[in-house]
């Protein structure tokens, strides 16, 4: 088994683990962490996909995508954490309330 | 440099994205000035979009490399008739909602974050409709999702914050799933450009997986049944102009991406039963959304569930376009649904916002006889309702007519039954509100006065939904310009 394929597989497994935790845990911070783990999985896959060129130099495009993706992930995490704090302040409980508006 | 140089056709896409972006930046730094700059931009940008539409009608699709950098590292923008029509729809809805928002927020203590987020949302939508590669689409999807979530959270109530959080989690999961699809496509084909992907030869083994991931992510973001659970609370709890734009435009953005990818890349390689499956989900959405709208106690929740139902119609595009003879009719029908629903639903949400503004609540049971207090808003509501139900001569009628034709011509009569049933259910939930709003009630309902502009912007959008039915030839001509097939 070659190394990039191993990385790609690990990336897919991380994505799956993150999505599983996202569904299973109810605490918002856990959900946010789960999304970050999934994101890391996708990024790992992309980094490994840079190996697709035959020469000694890797393909730069996936690396550019990962850099952009990290910027997006940081901003999204910041917004999510800010929202989680605000919900805690307003409602006093961390987990999301399940009642729909009547 | 003359005005003609600045507005050269090649530069139009860049202006359409950077004008709202500029307003957003000004609004972050100078909140008071930002409000007026935003309103000014809301007048200018539609004119630029109009010029782009004319340009595309005359000369066909436009392509542009940002900063002269070639793909794959440069950003590629692409505008054909479909993009131009989506941009025009966005410009009309946001422009009207901007004037509405000015009055809606001036009375309340306006949040300093509204105008920057509002303009960021517009810039993200415009960039999305002009993107020519699948990774750029991911970035614009995220920008759109983040600004939409922040706008929902502006309501500041516990319900709105919870709804925003759920919306954010769904939105991020959807984009991640989409991004994984992008990664698979890139790993297999070595390109991100939609045009180049459209011409790649035989299907790679990972193509169905890439489609499944992208479709799942985009379906979550479009709130197709059964992934609609986040939409009603988010759209019902947001401030009125935000609800209007979320329902009218934001859910359509991910549908637009799915349609474009389906037509240009995936359709030949994907098992046709997938299209039937997506159509089934659409059918469930029509029925489930309509029934929930019938049961809703609050007006805005009724309207939000109506969006769930109308989203279902959009996805009937996939099964109806499955035969070559009906592909074109189904395509036009689906986009007609997008445009007429955008105008009609924005009008209805604005009118519902006016009701809340005047009476401080939107409990349907306590809104007897309000037509005497706000005749213009209720007229707008009625006209938009005509389009949602699908009565002639509205845009909604043309959409259903095209769909019925496609259903019968492709021998899939069962979809026509669903379309008629959906129309009946829509009549029921619209009239459930009307029977109270238009009932005669001896004493006049108490409420605070409503600025005229809030009533007239809703009416303008409702009239657009009706006129879409009368201007069908012009719209279809624009859609066919540089058409994707």
Closest-CA residue to B354 (of B36, B95, B97): B97
| A68 to B192: CB separation less than 8 angstroms, yes or no | no
pLDDT tens, residue by residue, B103-128: 888 755 567 889 999 999 999 999 99
Whole-angstrom distance, CA of residue B279 vs CA of residue B334 = 12
**According to the model, what pLDDT value does residue B26 have?**
94
| A53 occurs within a structural domain | yes
Among B92-101, B300-309, B445-454, name the one with the lowest average pLDDT: B445-454
Residues B376 and B484 in one domain: yes
Residue B2: strand, helix, or coil: coil
| A75 to B156: CB separation less than 8 angstroms, yes or no | no
Instruction: Search chain B and give the residue with CA nearest A45.
Output: B183
| A61 occurs within a structural domain | yes
| Domain CATH code at residue A11 | 1.10.287.3510
Whole-angstrom distance, CA of residue B53 vs CA of residue B180 = 34
Mean pLDDT, range B145-150, rounded to an integer: 96
Residues of A with CB under 8 A from a CB of B: 8, 15, 19, 22, 28, 31-32, 35, 38-39, 42, 45-46, 49, 52, 59-62, 64-65, 68-69, 72, 75-76, 79-80, 83-84, 86-87, 90-91, 96-97, 100-102
| A96 occurs within a structural domain | no
The alpha carbon of residue B305 is apart from the nearest alpha carbon of chain A, in Å, by 12
**According to the model, what pLDDT value does residue B227 have?**
92
B172: which chain A residues are within 8 Å (Cβ-Cβ)?
A: 35, 76, 80
| A98 occurs within a structural domain | no
pLDDT tens, residue by residue, B24-76: 999 999 988 888 999 999 999 999 999 999 999 888 888 888 777 776 667 88
**According to the model, what pLDDT value does residue B476 have?**
84
| A76 occurs within a structural domain | yes
| A65 to B135: CB separation less than 8 angstroms, yes or no | yes
Beta partners for B40?
A: none
Residues B300 and B189 in one domain: no
Q: Where does the pLDDT of residue B444 fall: very low under 50, low under 70, confident under 90, or very high at 90 and above?
A: low
Cis peptide before B155 (omega within 30 of 0): no
What total number of domains does chain B contain? 2
Identity of the residue in A8, A42, A86 whose CB atom sits nearest the CB atom of B176: A42
Instruction: Give the domain range for residue A44.
Output: 3-91
A65: which chain B residues are within 8 Å (Cβ-Cβ)?
A: 135, 182-183, 186
Residues B57 and B188 in one domain: yes
| A102 occurs within a structural domain | no
Residues B446 and B353 in one domain: yes
Residues B225 and B339 in one domain: no
A15: which chain B residues are within 8 Å (Cβ-Cβ)?
A: 176, 180
How many residue contacts between A and B have a Cβ separation below 8 Å?
A: 100
Mean pLDDT, range B189-206, rounded to an integer: 80
- Tokens describing residue A41: 């999985």
- Mean pLDDT, chain B, rounded, equals 90
Residue B367: strand, helix, or coil: coil
- The residue among B240, B270, B300 that closes a domain is B270
For the whole prediction, is pTM greater than 0.80?
yes
Q: Are B261 and B219 in contact (CB under 8 A)?
A: no
- Burial degree of B198 (CB within 10 A; 0-12, 13-18, 19+): middle
Residues B471 and B394 in one domain: yes
B173: which chain A residues are within 8 Å (Cβ-Cβ)?
A: 19, 22, 35, 38
**According to the model, what pLDDT value does residue B241 have?**
95
Residues B11 and B146 in one domain: yes
Q: Where does the pLDDT of residue B202 fall: very low under 50, low under 70, confident under 90, or very high at 90 and above?
A: low
Question: End-to-end distance of chain B based on CA atoms, in angstroms?
Answer: 38
Q: What is the ipTM of this complex?
A: 0.93
Q: Are B120 and B166 in contact (CB under 8 A)?
A: no
| A101 occurs within a structural domain | no
Among positive and negative, which fits the CA dihedral B130, B132, B135, B136?
A: negative
**According to the model, what pLDDT value does residue B109 have?**
58
| B164 to A91: CB separation less than 8 angstroms, yes or no | no
Residue B1 clears pLDDT 70, i.e. is over it: no
| B153 to A62: CB separation less than 8 angstroms, yes or no | no
pLDDT tens, residue by residue, B251-264: 999 999 999 999 88
Whole-angstrom distance, CA of residue B382 vs CA of residue B348 = 9
Among positive and negative, which fits the CA dihedral B331, B55, B135, B231?
A: negative
Whole-angstrom distance, CA of residue B14 vs CA of residue B134 = 18
| B158 to A65: CB separation less than 8 angstroms, yes or no | no
Question: End-to-end distance of chain A based on CA atoms, in angstroms?
Answer: 56
- The residue among B270, B297, B326 that closes a domain is B270
pLDDT tens, residue by residue, B389-416: 999 889 999 999 999 999 999 888 999 9
DSSP string computed for B91-109: HHHHHHHHHHHHHHHHHS-
Residues B115 and B134 in one domain: yes
Report the share of chain B in percent with pLDDT over 70.
Answer: 96
Instruction: Give the domain range for residue B103.
Output: 1-270
Q: What does chain B come to in residues?
A: 485
Residues B338 and B476 in one domain: yes
Residues B115 and B264 in one domain: yes
What total number of domains does chain A contain? 1
| B165 to A61: CB separation less than 8 angstroms, yes or no | no
Residues B326 and B382 in one domain: yes
Largest distance between two CA atoms of chain A = 62
pLDDT mean values, one per 10 residues, chain A (102 residues)? 86 96 92 96 94 81 93 96 93 62 40
- The residue among B270, B303, B319 that closes a domain is B270
Among positive and negative, which fits the CA dihedral B217, B221, B227, B230?
A: positive
């Amino acid at each position: 088994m070659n190394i990039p394929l191993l990385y790609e597989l690990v990336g897919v497994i991380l994505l799956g683990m993150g999505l599983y935790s996202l569904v299973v845990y109810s605490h918002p911070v856990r959900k946010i962490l789960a999304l970050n783990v999934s994101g890391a999985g996708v990024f790992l896959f992309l980094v490994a996909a840079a190996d697709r060129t035959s020469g000694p130099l890797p393909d730069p495009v996936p690396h550019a995508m990962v850099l952009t993706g990290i910027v997006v992930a940081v901003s999204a995490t910041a917004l999510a954490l800010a929202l989680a704090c605000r919900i805690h302040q307003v409602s006093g409980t961390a987990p999301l309330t399940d009642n729909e508006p009547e | 440099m003359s005005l003609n140089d600045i507005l050269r056709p090649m530069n139009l896409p860049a202006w359409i994205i950077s004008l709202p972006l500029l307003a957003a930046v000004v609004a972050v730094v100078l909140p008071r000035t930002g409000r007026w700059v935003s309103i000014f931009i809301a007048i200018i940008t539609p004119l630029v979009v109009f010029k782009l539409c004319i340009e595309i009608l005359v000369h066909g699709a436009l392509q542009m490399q940002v900063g002269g950098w070639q793909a794959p590292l440069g950003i590629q923008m692409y505008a054909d008739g479909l993009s131009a029509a989506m941009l025009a729809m966005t410009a009309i809805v946001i422009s009207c909602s901007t004037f509405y928002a000015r009055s809606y927020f001036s009375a309340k203590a306006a949040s300093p974050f509204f105008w920057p987020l509002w303009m960021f949302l517009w810039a993200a939508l415009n960039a999305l409709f002009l993107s020519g590669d699948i990774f750029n689409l991911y970035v614009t999807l995220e920008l759109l999702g983040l600004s939409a979530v922040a706008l929902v959270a502006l309501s500041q109530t516990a319900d709105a914050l919870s709804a925003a959080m759920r919306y954010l989690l769904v939105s991020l999961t959807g984009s991640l799933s989409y991004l994984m699809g992008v990664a698979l496509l890139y790993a297999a084909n070595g390109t991100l450009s939609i045009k180049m992907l459209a011409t790649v030869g035989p299907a790679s083994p990972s193509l169905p997986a890439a489609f499944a991931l992208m479709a799942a992510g985009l379906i979550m973001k479009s709130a197709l049944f059964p992934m609609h659970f986040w939409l009603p609370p988010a759209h019902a709890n947001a401030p009125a102009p935000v609800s209007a734009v979320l329902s009218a435009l934001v859910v359509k953005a991910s549908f637009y991406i799915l349609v474009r990818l389906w037509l240009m890349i995936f359709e030949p390689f994907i098992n046709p039963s997938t299209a039937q499956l997506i159509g089934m989900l659409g059918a469930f959405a029509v029925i489930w959304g309509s029934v929930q709208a019938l049961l809703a106690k609050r007006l805005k929740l009724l309207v939000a569930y109506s969006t769930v139902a109308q989203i279902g119609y959009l996805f009937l595009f996939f099964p109806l376009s499955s035969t070559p003879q009906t592909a074109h009719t189904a395509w036009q029908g689906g986009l007609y649904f997008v445009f007429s629903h955008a105008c009609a639903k924005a009008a209805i949400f604005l009118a519902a916002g006016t009701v809340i503004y005047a009476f401080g609540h939107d409990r349907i049971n306590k809104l007897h006889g309000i037509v005497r207090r706000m005749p213009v808003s209720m007229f707008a509501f009625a006209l938009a309702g005509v389009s949602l139900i699908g009565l002639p001569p509205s845009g909604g009628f043309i959409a259903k007519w095209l769909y019925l034709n496609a259903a019968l011509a492709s021998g899939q009569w069962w979809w026509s039954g669903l379309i008629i049933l959906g129309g009946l259910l829509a009549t029921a939930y619209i009239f459930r509100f009307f029977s109270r709003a238009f009932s005669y009630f001896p004493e006049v309902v108490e409420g605070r006065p409503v600025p005229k502009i809030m009533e007239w912007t809703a009416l303008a959008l409702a009239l657009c939904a009706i006129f879409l039915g009368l201007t069908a030839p012009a719209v279809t001509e624009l859609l066919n310009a540089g058409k994707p097939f």
